[in-house]
Amino acid sequence: MSLLEFIKKSPKAELHLHIEGTLEPEQMFALAKRNNIDIPFKNIDDVKKAYNFSNLESFLKTYYEGAKVLIKEQDFFELTWAYVLKCKEDNIVHTEIFFDPQTHTKRGISFDIVINGIYKAFQKAEKEFGLSFKIIMCFLRHLDEEEGFKIFDQALIHKDKIYGIGLDSSETGNPPSKFEKLFKKAIEYGFITVAHAGEEGPPEYMWEALNLLNVKRIDHGVQCLKDKKLVEKLSKNQIPLTVCPLSNIKLRVFNELKEHNLKKMLDKKLMVMVNSDDPAYFGGYLNKNLIETQLALNLSKDEVRTLLVNSFKSSFLNEEKKKEWISKI
Ligand code: ADE
Ligand code: ZN
């Protein structure tokens, strides 16, 4: 089997995906029309031209603008269902996705509408083709901790649907320490925690995510190679880093895929795997991330296998399920 076929056909887990980041331009236009919402784009070509980002902050502006077309439960259902079909296409058998409730409640959309639309689509996918899933609710780190506490109270009503708590949005200037009390409370209530750190921000933010937020995984984490002690800790404890190569290129964390440090991270025995982050904005879903990264870094079949195995090892599936999927790679 060629390496390309191996990538396409292997079962995979995706661990870093923002559901709002799967809003394709075509769907954005259709929803804008249906819901009578103004968007700052004339046509689909115009949208694609706007997807030329200089950093995380410039992307987030467009991303929050796009999310404004999501109004009704049916919109969140259809958004999620479109992603679920991509999972089927890419042979993703398990996915752990983020959603950003504050992006929607800030616009007057109720928490219930958001979570119910997303959850119902995954329930249907689980029933119809066995896709397993976990939902992680992220706090927007550019907002203050007080607002996080308010949204957390609403999340408690839906505790049966939400597995974990994460942290996303503008990293620079918003260190994990800003949310120490909120994450402590989330852990007390039985949620697992993860956080975006070391995407653009310094290794110090990764230390804070580990020591103050007690995260089980770090999202991105590509800045860790700047800190030898941090690499030692991550490697010794096999703390997963959910790396997103195409995202890192689009947001100019690295100039080109050939310069990405994923292979160096593998060489240092770090627990890394490949994910798609916001695929509608960054040019591709999971298989495309894997295929392009393999080509650019000339990864061997063993290295690709390690990435796929790591996606299951780093997931929140139980040990039995992890073993079962890994045996099929
Ligand atoms: N929200 C959506 N995508 C994100 C990313 N890559 N980093 C931080 N926040 C995000
Ligand atoms: Zn992300």
- Is the C-beta atom of 18 inside 6 A of ligand 1? yes
Q: CB–CB of 29/280 below 8 Å?
A: no
The CA–CA distances, whole Å, from 297 to 8, 151, 265, 284, 290 equal 18, 41, 12, 17, 11
Q: What is the rounded CA–CA span in Å between residue 247 and residue 253?
A: 8
Q: What is the rounded CA–CA span in Å between residue 329 and residue 323?
A: 10
Q: Which atom of ligand 1 sits closest to the CA of residue 247?
A: 6
Question: In the prediction, which pLDDT does 100 show?
Answer: 98
Tokens of 56: 């995380």
Please give the single-letter amino acid code of residue 235. S
Q: How many domains does the chain have?
A: 1
Q: Which atom of ligand 1 sits closest to the CA of residue 100?
A: 1
Q: What is the rounded CA–CA span in Å between residue 104 and residue 153?
A: 16
Question: In the prediction, which pLDDT does 14 show?
Answer: 99
3-state helix, strand, coil in the chain (%, to 5): 55, 15, 30
How many whole angstroms from 4 Cα to the centroid of ligand 2?
Answer: 26
How many whole angstroms from 284 Cα to the centroid of ligand 2?
Answer: 14
In Å, how far from its chain's centre is CA 131? 17
Catalytic residue among 199, 200, 208, 292: 199
In Å, how far from its chain's centre is CA 70? 19
Over the chain (329 residues), the average pLDDT of each successive run of 10 is 97 99 97 95 88 96 96 99 98 99 98 98 98 99 98 98 98 98 98 98 99 98 98 98 98 98 98 98 98 98 98 99 98
Domain of residue 143, CATH code: 3.20.20.140
Question: In the prediction, which pLDDT does 106 show?
Answer: 96
Residues in the chain: 329
Tokens of 204: 């110090």
> Residues 235, 240, 242, CA angle at the centre, nearest 5°?
130
- Is the C-beta atom of 245 inside 6 A of ligand 1? no
Q: What is the rounded CA–CA span in Å between residue 142 and residue 23?
A: 22
> Residues 43, 45, 46, CA angle at the centre, nearest 5°?
65
The CA–CA distances, whole Å, from 64 to 21, 152, 169 equal 10, 20, 10
Host domain of residue 158: 3-326
How many whole angstroms from 36 Cα to the centroid of ligand 1?
Answer: 27
